[in-house]
């Protein structure tokens, strides 16, 4: 199919096929818990409520992260409907941006890094390595902030790097676009959107003797563009919700970085294993890419190759090192280092195989194996979270739920259920909240009561005690969703089982009329 196409068209077709595969995979499974249920629902609620200032979870202001993901998801759902695929389109678009960035950057850098290879073939190889990885095919369809901020961090680094490689004075236009990319990264996930690109570029310029070029950046116009994009939401949200900046940056970023009490504690070598999985099998070829010289060569072409090579290595080292410091570690944090790894792997492949006759067949076989692995792993996520999801009771509740009905939740919080039911009202979450304030760790309960602190009046309606169940059971239009792991007790009095799912069960109050259907 590809033989009669030009090199450029062949590359475009391959990249389009990989992105299309990502979009297809994004439609094949229900929302994973907790992240996908949480963030998809925040976007849905934003669209439904029309409140584009405050992201909301369970009707409460949810300020764990800035709002760019939620804005884009709400816009996607406005066009494609309130469904999981529309929510996943946002990370998929950013994965596509990262894929395009790998291809364009590799093509521009190939004459310096791999002068013996065709620039188009080198770029296509780097892009296909990234596009067949688990990072792209699975991470690129996962609903959270990681792929979004990774794409803008990578874009910012590419833009600044090419601005500085332009000559003795940085290319002003590319640098200004780099400032905008940093601003979008900040709107995506906070300070790492500017700290990580800035750290990579700073250490690269110092190590390669280019630090004086920083003096010639368009600082005034660049910072103005950054402020115009990044600052307005933070300023407006702080005016409406005093304490937001301290919570978002102080608690959710600085404290999370240095504290030992947050979830997902892992040893320092965690990201080595994570990258092996995310970039399997291509990570092996990174180690054949060689190591740049420390001394600056006299030849201009060799010096550019050394400069670019150091950029790719420092990009990986700085970001992996940064995220290895805190005890709390998540796989998605290292997605920003996949672009340089893809270029290094393409370089290692070129140096190891060159123009050997059997190399294309080996490469094609590895691509097929990598894609097959992703297709095999994707449905396994359903099995791992099946007992935590509530999507199997959602059709029944959606069918029976009246516009003025109330849904109570006991035994946890079913992150995906509000999204699937498309409820216009937040669920009432029942817990002993005063006790949880003293004892809860980094969990769903803390998410809710800390969100409630920004709107105490709303929290009083949404976060209630299980004691309200006895009276609610006697009224019509009352529903109860209970985690199957929750122990039996007095709460069952007056509630009739409607449907039992894998992880959650649905009950209705005894106050329903005899004509009300019992299942959907």
DSSP 57-71: ETTEE--SS-SHHHH
Share of the chain above pLDDT 90, in %: 79
Model confidence at 512, in pLDDT bands (50, 70, 90)? Answer: low
pLDDT at 298: 75
Share of the chain above pLDDT 70, in %: 95
Bridge-based pairing state of the strands 60-61 and 56-57: antiparallel
CA 340 – CA 505 distance, rounded (Å): 47
Model confidence at 295, in pLDDT bands (50, 70, 90)? Answer: confident
CA 12 – CA 206 distance, rounded (Å): 36
CA 370 – CA 393 distance, rounded (Å): 35
DSSP state of 328: B
What residues have CB less than 8 Å from 180, skipping those under 6 apart?
Answer: 225, 226, 229
Q: Tell me the per-residue pLDDT of 44-99, one tens digit each, with 9 for 90 and over.
A: 999 999 999 999 999 999 999 999 999 999 999 999 999 999 999 999 999 999 99
Q: Is the bond leading into 281 cis (omega within 30 degrees of zero)?
A: yes
Quote the tokens at residue 265.
């504690």
Q: Which residue has the higher pLDDT, 349 or 385?
A: 349
pLDDT at 241: 96
CA 354 – CA 414 distance, rounded (Å): 53
CA 224 – CA 181 distance, rounded (Å): 13
CA 295 – CA 284 distance, rounded (Å): 27
CA 7 – CA 226 distance, rounded (Å): 37
- Is-contact 435 471, C-beta < 8 A? no
Residues 296-317, mean pLDDT to the nearest whole number: 90
What residues have CB less than 8 Å from 74, skipping those under 6 apart?
Answer: 43, 44, 46, 47, 52
Burial-class residue 361 by CB neighbours within 10 Å (0-12, 13-18, 19+): exposed
Model confidence at 517, in pLDDT bands (50, 70, 90)? Answer: very low
Burial-class residue 53 by CB neighbours within 10 Å (0-12, 13-18, 19+): middle
The answer to whether the Cα torsion of 73, 77, 82, 83 is positive or negative is negative
Indicate whether 259 pLDDT > 80: no
Query: CA-CA distances (angstroms) from residue 1 to 13, 14, 366?
Result: 10, 11, 19
Give φ, ψ of 478 to 5 degrees: -120, 135
Residues 200-226, mean pLDDT to the nearest whole number: 96
Indicate whether 395 pLDDT > 80: yes
The answer to whether the Cα torsion of 58, 61, 65, 69 is positive or negative is positive
Radius of gyration of the chain (CA): 25
Residue 429's DSSP bridge partners are: 409, 463
DSSP state of 506: E
Indicate whether 306 pLDDT > 70: yes
The answer to whether the Cα torsion of 206, 210, 212, 214 is positive or negative is negative
CA 412 – CA 415 distance, rounded (Å): 9
Our separate counts of H helices and E strands in the chain read 24, 8
Model confidence at 263, in pLDDT bands (50, 70, 90)? Answer: low
Bridge-based pairing state of the strands 495-500 and 504-509: antiparallel
Quote the tokens at residue 494.
């007056």
Quote the tokens at residue 382.
């359903």
CA 473 – CA 508 distance, rounded (Å): 8
> Looking at 391-434, which runs of residues are DSSP E strands?
406-410, 428-430
Model confidence at 515, in pLDDT bands (50, 70, 90)? Answer: very low
Local structure of 498: helix, strand or coil: strand
- Is-contact 473 511, C-beta < 8 A? yes
Q: Tell me the per-residue pLDDT of 470-492, one tens digit each, with 9 for 90 and over.
A: 999 999 999 999 999 999 998 99
Any idea which residue has 């990580």 for tokens? 196
What residues have CB less than 8 Å from 340, skipping those under 6 apart?
Answer: 311, 312, 313, 315, 316
CA 83 – CA 44 distance, rounded (Å): 9
- Is-contact 403 53, C-beta < 8 A? no
Cβ atoms < 10 Å from Cβ of 225: 18
- Is-contact 91 147, C-beta < 8 A? yes
CA 356 – CA 358 distance, rounded (Å): 6
Indicate whether 193 pLDDT > 80: yes
Indicate whether 109 pLDDT > 60: yes
Q: Which residue has the higher pLDDT, 115 or 338?
A: 338
Residue 497's DSSP bridge partners are: 507
């Amino acid at each position: 199919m590809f033989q009669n196409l030009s090199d450029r068209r062949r590359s475009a077709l391959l990249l389009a096929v990989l992105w299309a595969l990502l979009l297809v995979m994004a439609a094949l499974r229900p929302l994973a818990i907790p992240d996908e249920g949480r963030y998809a629902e925040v976007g849905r609620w934003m669209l439904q409520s029309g409140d584009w200032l405050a992201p909301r979870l369970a009707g409460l202001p949810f300020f764990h992260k800035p709002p760019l993901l939620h804005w884009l998801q709400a816009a996607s759902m406005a066009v494609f409907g309130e469904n999981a695929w529309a929510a996943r389109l946002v990370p998929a678009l950013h994965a596509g941006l990262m894929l395009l960035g790998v291809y364009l950057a590799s093509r521009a850098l190939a004459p310096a890094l791999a002068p013996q290879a065709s620039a188009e073939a080198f770029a296509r190889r780097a892009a296909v390595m990234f596009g067949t990885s688990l990072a792209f095919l699975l991470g690129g369809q996962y609903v959270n902030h990681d792929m979004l901020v990774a794409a803008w961090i990578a874009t910012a680094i590419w833009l600044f790097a090419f601005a500085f490689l332009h000559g003795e004075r940085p290319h002003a236009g590319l640098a200004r676009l780099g400032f905008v990319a940093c601003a979008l990264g900040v709107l995506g996930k906070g300070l790492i959107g500017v700290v990580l690109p800035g750290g990579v570029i700073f250490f690269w310029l110092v190590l390669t003797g280019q630090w004086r070029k920083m003096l010639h950046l368009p600082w005034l116009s660049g910072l103005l563009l950054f402020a115009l994009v990044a600052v307005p939401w933070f300023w407006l949200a702080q005016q409406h919700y005093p304490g937001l900046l301290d919570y978002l940056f102080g608690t959710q970023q600085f404290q999370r970085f240095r504290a030992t009490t947050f979830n997902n504690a892992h040893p320092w070598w965690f990201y080595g294993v994570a990258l092996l999985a995310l970039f399997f099998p291509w990570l092996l070829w990174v180690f054949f890419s060689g190591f740049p010289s420390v001394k600056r060569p006299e030849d201009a072409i060799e010096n550019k190759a050394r400069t670019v090579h150091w950029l790719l290595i420092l990009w990986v080292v700085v970001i992996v090192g940064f995220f290895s410091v805190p005890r709390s570690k998540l796989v998605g944090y290292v997605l920003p280092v996949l672009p340089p790894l893809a270029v290094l792997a393409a370089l290692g492949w070129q140096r190891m195989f060159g123009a050997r006759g059997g190399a294309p067949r080996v490469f094609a076989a590895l691509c097929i194996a990598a894609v097959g692995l992703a297709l095999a792993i994707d449905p396994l996520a359903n099995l791992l979270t099946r007992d935590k999801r509530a999507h199997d009771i959602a059709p029944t509740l959606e069918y029976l739920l009246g516009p003025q009905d109330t849904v109570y939740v006991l035994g946890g919080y079913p992150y995906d259920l509000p999204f699937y039911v498309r409820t216009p009202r937040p669920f009432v979450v029942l817990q002993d909240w005063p006790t949880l304030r003293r004892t809860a760790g980094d969990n769903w309960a803390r998410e809710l009561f800390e969100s409630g602190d920004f709107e105490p009046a709303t929290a009083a309606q949404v976060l209630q005690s299980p004691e309200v169940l006895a009276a609610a059971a006697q009224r019509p239009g009352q529903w109860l969703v209970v985690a199957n792991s929750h122990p039996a007790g007095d709460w069952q009095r007056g509630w009739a089982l409607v449907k039992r799912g894998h992880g959650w069960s649905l009950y209705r109050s005894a106050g329903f009329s005899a004509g009300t259907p019992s299942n959907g």
